[in-house]
Amino acid sequence: MIQYIIRRLILVVVLMWVVSMVTFAIFFLIPSATGTSPAVLFAGKAPTPDTIAAVEVKFGLKDSIPVQYGHFVEGIFVGRHFDNGADKSYCPPPCLGFSFVNNQPVWEEIVSDLPVTLSLAAGASIMWLVTGTAVGVLSALKRRTIFDRAAMGLALAGVSLPIYFTGLVLLDLISYKWGILPNVHYVGITDNPLSWARNLLLPWIALTFLYAALYARLTRAGMLETMGEDYIRTARAKGLTERRVITRHALRAALTPIVTIFGLDLGQLLGGAILTEYTFGLIGVGHLSIDAISRQDLPVIMGVTLFAAFFIVFANLVVDVLYAFVDPRVRYS
Amino acid sequence: MRRTSLVRYGTVATAMALLVAGCGSSSSGGGNQGGGEKPKPAQNVFNAGTTGIRNASDHKGGTLNFIADGDCDYWDPARTYYGFCWDMQRLFSRGLMAYNAAPGDSGLNAVPDLATEAGTSPNGKDWTYHLKSGIKFEDGSPVTSKNIKYGIERVFAQSVINGGPTYVITFLCPGPINTSGGCDAYKGPYADKDPNHLGLSTIDTPDDNTIVFHLNKVVGDWNYIMALPASTPVPIAYDQSPKGGAHYTDHPYSTGPYKFDTYTAGKSLTLVRNAMWNQGNDPFRKALPDKIVFTVDANDDDIDQRILTNIADVNISGTGVQPTAQAKILSNPTLKARADNPVTGATRYLAIESKVAPFDNVHCRRAVQYAVSKVDWQTARGGPIGGGQVATSMLNPTVKGFVQFDAYPDDNGNGDIAKAKDELKQCGKPNGFTTHLASQNSGKGTRVATAVQAALKRVGINCIIDLGNAATYYSQFIGAPAVNRAKGRGLLVAGWGADWPTGYGFFSSLIDGRKILPQGNSNYSETNDPKINDMIDQAVAATDPNKAAQIWGEVDKQLMTEDATLVPMTWDKALVINSQNVTNAYIMLSLLGIYDFQALGHV
């Protein structure tokens, strides 16, 4: 098991290395291929050649691409000093680059926006996992009843309706019209946990509606399949209670695909829930990336991409390890 | 040009603050008239805030909640270039001069703020200001003329303090301005040889209350340039510490009624009262609310909803409500009576590159003037309320000297096809021709380009649309004349607003033939009419601001009728509304048609 995890970790590192090279190449090679220096984007509204030159020196944009990449990777581990004499900036490790627009390390920007995204993802994922699997199990057990059909119908709607629709409907009714949860805005969990949860409730519900639907359908299908398996019949024959049969034997097997997809969804969400954040006016990592794109803030775009990629790759690793615990048939050696 | 929120449009005309060279005048161009007039309270009707004061009140106290879809570019007075941020600066920054706090034309005047009176000059080059006594920074230390000098010096350090207007570099550089508009002779206070960091030789501070500028040219509008945020004093020791320089934007030292309490970049700012500010020596600031909280909200529709439900009070970006809220406001008489629809300072236009055939022939240019449909353009930009008003001349109604006239009368902005065809014949292209049309690839850029393409097609002018990236559209895509020529781009979609509301601020880098730059050019049409160049010199040299304004009006006429190189399409407008908690609201024409934030109060 340990060996397996180590092997996978090495793979994670290799994968991240490849992702970093590709993003670096895209974001720095393409502007230079089209003849625009990234320095121009940094240098303000009316950059004089002097300013552009100063920026190029400061960020080492004159170096060859491989050298620049080397500095970039080095920065992630030991930090970087940007210096052109008059203007000095320090980017502490992990230095993912320096924002053109905000003139601060990309990592700081991500970290300052991360609490919003983390809160959004953590709360929503717990909500959708619980409701999704619960509804799925119930639907499977009460197959072809009104509950089953209603739940699956609702699930279909949830999967089909985009977040900006459900989000806006929720906002319009609950926030603006009825005034139940007015003024949705982010409050830090350490500042006021109650206010934190209250303010994030609407985005959580919107995300839950979207994601839980899929989980309910998957759980239902998985449950129906495993409930027909021989070992379930055996379990029943051995005299186990129905409750134990369902929770210990059927659900556990049905959970495998859920874990897979949960890891991917969560990883993706941590990289930034762009539409959700925009709909509810939250300033998280998703907003950061969109903002960076509209301002052509290349280092931030690159930093967020790497960051999101890391979460997805890491989530996959966690999922694979979790298999061993969830599904007794899986053993790593 | 000043920018409205970049985030909102993603595309906004970020024409650059182009350095201006070569201008002459004497005596005060800014003028100090208008300071004493008392604006009338306004009835609660549509557009009342553009001419009078809504909910006039002197009630102090309460918290005003400001909201916008993005943070300021910078809070550092020397670096900010967004219009609404200049307006925000009025809450905590005081410069030598400031725009008069009044609705309507009176708000276009520059009045003394820290200065005892508007600057005076015997020759238009040497300008003297005296400071009021008892001015203090938020920490209680006194403000002297050296702090103002230092604040202006900072702009010279472009590798650290960049982003803002650079007029002071152009006019105060002790040596020649280099080909790229920079100053090699002085590189700012961080690289200063003077131990006190006050090495700029063109500014004298004979005593703590006097500052004298020695410009390298005659600049009649100097009082207006001193009304830009960069004339705000800066504490020298603090700025030289690690908290200053590039980080000064995180906490600029206040000289106004409010100071920074907490600030989280990109998210929120809280301003609280500055105990060191003395209302007695401030010409106009009201300082009504106890506290101002500014929050960034990414969702524009949500912002509108918050204002309409009184959760937030003022959308400070000033870019106007979204279409959903616009429909709601216009269809509801109560809401409409609370709303204003000001012109916001920018002229949207089509530049005709006069060096690209066949536009080297004036008749082909006039054909375009007649053939375009300004109404379709207006629709593409968001209609008469949210988009803009059909423009008949280049000068914007928010500029002193604006005269309404129409050199190319057409069918209510729909174009005059017969006259356009006639001009095409005179140009020797009776069947039309093909040219390239440059526009931005996001926001309204594509829609506007398509509208122009369709309108010109009616007379046989075919446009191939070239789309450029919004972030570098003005600086790189259309700002290099050689590229436009090489690619045959005859028509360039552009927008422009003045950095300060005079003809000089508006026109100087737009049509002065001596300012066509190889890079970062703003004279996109390469207009070089000796007559216009001459009139520009006359206007700048005019001793009387009203005379200057009149000449600028004539420059506009000459440009439209004889050169026909720029096609004015619309003057930007925005539909704006505040919450019901807001008192004392009026539109400042000199600040891009945004409410005067320093005057606002809470019921």
- Residue pLDDT, tens place only, A271-305: 778 888 888 888 889 888 888 887 778 888 888 88
Confidence label for B393 from pLDDT (cuts 50, 70 and 90): very high
Do residues A34 and A182 both lie within one domain? no
* A48·B182 Cβ contact <8 A: yes
Confidence label for B116 from pLDDT (cuts 50, 70 and 90): very high
How many angstroms from the chain centroid is the CA of residue B35? Answer: 21
**CA B244 – CA A259 distance, rounded (Å):** 50
Q: Residues A129-145: what's their mean pLDDT? A: 91
Do residues A179 and A236 both lie within one domain? yes
Confidence label for B427 from pLDDT (cuts 50, 70 and 90): very high
**CA A259 – CA A256 distance, rounded (Å):** 5
Burial of A35 (0-12, 13-18, 19+ CB in 10 A): exposed
Asked if pLDDT for residue B16 goes beyond 70, the answer is no
Residue B482 sits at the chain A interface (C-beta within 8 Å): no
Helical H runs in A178-297? 193-227, 230-237, 242-244, 251-270, 274-279, 285-294
Q: What pLDDT is stored for residue B22 in this prediction? A: 29
Do residues A182 and A295 both lie within one domain? yes
Is the dihedral angle over the CA atoms B6, B11, B13, B14 positive or is it negative? positive
Any idea what the Cα angle at residue B508 is, between residues B503 and B512, rounded to 5°? 130
Name the domain boundary from A91, A120, A148. A91
Residue A159 domain flag: yes
Do residues A17 and A112 both lie within one domain? no
Do residues A6 and A111 both lie within one domain? no
Asked if pLDDT for residue B25 goes beyond 50, the answer is no
Q: What pLDDT is stored for residue B222 in this prediction? A: 92
Tell the residue number behind the tokens 């790229």, with chain if given. B180
Q: What pLDDT is stored for residue B127 in this prediction? A: 95
Do residues A177 and A264 both lie within one domain? yes
Q: What pLDDT is stored for residue B260 in this prediction? A: 97
Q: Is residue A157 a contact partner of residue A234, using CB atoms and an 8 Å limit?
A: no
Q: Residues A229-242: what's their mean pLDDT? A: 88
Q: What pLDDT is stored for residue B92 in this prediction? A: 97
Neighbours of B263 (CB within 10 A): 17
Residue B471 sits at the chain A interface (C-beta within 8 Å): yes
> For residue A182, what is the domain's CATH number?
1.10.3720.10
B520 phi-psi bin (left φ>0, alpha ψ -120 to 50, beta other): left
Asked if pLDDT for residue B581 goes beyond 80, the answer is yes
Asked if pLDDT for residue B569 goes beyond 90, the answer is yes
| B264: DSSP letter | E
Q: What pLDDT is stored for residue B497 in this prediction? A: 86
Confidence label for A250 from pLDDT (cuts 50, 70 and 90): confident
Do residues A60 and A122 both lie within one domain? no
Residue A101 domain flag: no
Residue A75 domain flag: yes
Count of the separate structural domains present in chain A: 2
Contacts of A297 by beta carbon, 8 Å cutoff, 6+ apart: A41, A99, A100, A101, A102, A291
Name the domain boundary from A91, A119, A136. A91
The widest CA-to-CA distance across chain A, in whole angstroms, is 84
Q: How many CB pairs under 8 A join A and B?
A: 122
- Which of B124-128, B267-271, B449-453, B589-593 has the least mean pLDDT? B589-593
Residue A72 domain flag: yes
**CA A115 – CA A111 distance, rounded (Å):** 7
How many angstroms from the chain centroid is the CA of residue A99? Answer: 21
Do residues A261 and A155 both lie within one domain? yes
Residue A100 domain flag: no
**CA B293 – CA B386 distance, rounded (Å):** 27
Question: How confident is the model over B522-531, as pLDDT tens digits?
Answer: 899 999 999 9
Residue B275 sits at the chain A interface (C-beta within 8 Å): no
Q: What pLDDT is stored for residue A58 in this prediction? A: 79
The tokens describing A160, both together, are 């089909």
**CA A208 – CA A215 distance, rounded (Å):** 10
* A185·B297 Cβ contact <8 A: yes
What percent of chain B lies above the pLDDT cut of 90?
Answer: 65
Q: Report the number of secondary-structure helices (H) and strands (E) in chain A.
A: 15, 2
Q: Is residue B341 a contact partner of residue B409, using CB atoms and an 8 Å limit?
A: no
- Which of A22-26, A126-130, B11-15, B312-316 has the least mean pLDDT? B11-15
End-to-end CA distance of chain A: 6
User: Which one is predicted more confidently, B28 or B474?
Assistant: B474
**CA B295 – CA B290 distance, rounded (Å):** 17
Contacts of B543 by beta carbon, 8 Å cutoff, 6+ apart: B25, B26, B27, B220
Residue A98 domain flag: no
Q: Residues A35-46: what's their mean pLDDT? A: 65
Neighbours of A290 (CB within 10 A): 20
For B24-72, give the secondary structure using H, E and C.
CCCCCCCCCCCCCCCCCECCCCCCHHHCCEECCCCCCCCEEEEEECCCC
* A36·B190 Cβ contact <8 A: no
**Residue among B89, B221, B214 at smallest CA distance from B164:** B89
Q: Is residue B456 a contact partner of residue B484, using CB atoms and an 8 Å limit?
A: no
Helical H runs in B473-525? 481-486, 503-511
The tokens describing B580, both together, are 């019901």
Do residues A207 and A120 both lie within one domain? yes
Crossing angle of helices A251-270 and A193-227, rounded to 10°: 140
Tell the residue number behind the tokens 């500095």, with chain if given. A71
**CA B155 – CA B79 distance, rounded (Å):** 8
Smallest CA–CA distance from A296 into chain B, residue: B471
Q: Which of A40, A182, A280 sits opposite B476 (nearest CB)?
A: A40
Q: What pLDDT is stored for residue B6 in this prediction? A: 33
**Residue among B507, B522, B202, B199 at smallest CA distance from B351:** B522
Question: How confident is the model over B71-87, as pLDDT tens digits?
Answer: 898 999 999 988 899 99
Q: What pLDDT is stored for residue B12 in this prediction? A: 30
Do residues A36 and A175 both lie within one domain? no
Do residues A119 and A61 both lie within one domain? no
Q: Is residue B413 a contact partner of residue B374, using CB atoms and an 8 Å limit?
A: yes
**CA A106 – CA A114 distance, rounded (Å):** 12
**CA A317 – CA A54 distance, rounded (Å):** 43
Q: What pLDDT is stored for residue B591 in this prediction? A: 87
The CA distance from A37 to the nearest CA of chain B, in Å, is 11
Q: What pLDDT is stored for residue A332 in this prediction? A: 63
Name the domain boundary from A28, A59, A91. A91
- Residues of chain B contacting residue A55, judged by C-beta atoms under 8 Å apart: 159
Buried b (16+ CB within 10 A) or exposed e, B408-441: bebeebebbbebbbbbbeebebeebbebbbbbbb
- Which of A54-63, A102-111, A221-230, B238-247 has the least mean pLDDT? A54-63
Crossing angle of helices A298-326 and A2-24, rounded to 10°: 160
Residue A185 sits at the chain B interface (C-beta within 8 Å): yes
Confidence label for A96 from pLDDT (cuts 50, 70 and 90): confident
Q: What pLDDT is stored for residue A59 in this prediction? A: 81
Helical H runs in B164-255? 167-172, 222-225, 236-240
Q: Is residue B169 a contact partner of residue B155, using CB atoms and an 8 Å limit?
A: yes
Residue A120 domain flag: yes
Contacts with B, A 161-180, CB within 8 Å: 168, 171, 175-176, 179
Confidence label for B28 from pLDDT (cuts 50, 70 and 90): very low
Residue A226 domain flag: yes
**CA B361 – CA B364 distance, rounded (Å):** 6
Residue B152 sits at the chain A interface (C-beta within 8 Å): no
Buried b (16+ CB within 10 A) or exposed e, B547-569: ebbbbbbbbbebbbeebbbbbbb
Q: What pLDDT is stored for residue B36 in this prediction? A: 44
- Residues of chain A contacting residue B7, judged by C-beta atoms under 8 Å apart: 291, 294-295
Q: What pLDDT is stored for residue B133 in this prediction? A: 93
Contacts with B, A 35-64, CB within 8 Å: 36, 40-41, 43-51, 54-55, 58
**CA A96 – CA A16 distance, rounded (Å):** 13
Asked if pLDDT for residue B452 goes beyond 80, the answer is yes
pTM: 0.82
- Residues of chain B contacting residue A115, judged by C-beta atoms under 8 Å apart: none
Range of the domain at A296: 106-331
Tell the residue number behind the tokens 């919003």, with chain if given. A116
Interface residue of A36, A45, A120 to substitute, partner B, most B CBs within 10 Å: A45
Asked if pLDDT for residue B38 goes beyond 60, the answer is no
Is the dihedral angle over the CA atoms A246, A252, A254, A258 positive or is it negative? positive
Asked if pLDDT for residue A42 goes beyond 60, the answer is yes
- Residues of chain A contacting residue B173, judged by C-beta atoms under 8 Å apart: none
Q: What pLDDT is stored for residue B64 in this prediction? A: 97
Burial of A84 (0-12, 13-18, 19+ CB in 10 A): middle
The tokens describing A224, both together, are 């129906």
Q: What pLDDT is stored for residue A229 in this prediction? A: 87
Contacts of B199 by beta carbon, 8 Å cutoff, 6+ apart: B153, B186, B189, B192, B193
Supply the mean pLDDT for chain B: 88
Asked if pLDDT for residue A222 goes beyond 50, the answer is yes
The CA distance from A134 to the nearest CA of chain B, in Å, is 33
Q: What pLDDT is stored for residue B412 in this prediction? A: 84
The tokens describing A264, both together, are 């991917």
The CA distance from A183 to the nearest CA of chain B, in Å, is 7
Residue B246 sits at the chain A interface (C-beta within 8 Å): yes
Interface residue of A40, A42, A48 to substitute, partner B, most B CBs within 10 Å: A48
**Residue among A245, A56, A49, A48 at smallest CA distance from A141:** A245
Do residues A42 and A117 both lie within one domain? no
- Which of A34-38, B173-177, B296-300 has the least mean pLDDT? A34-38
* B17·A46 Cβ contact <8 A: yes
**CA B245 – CA B6 distance, rounded (Å):** 24
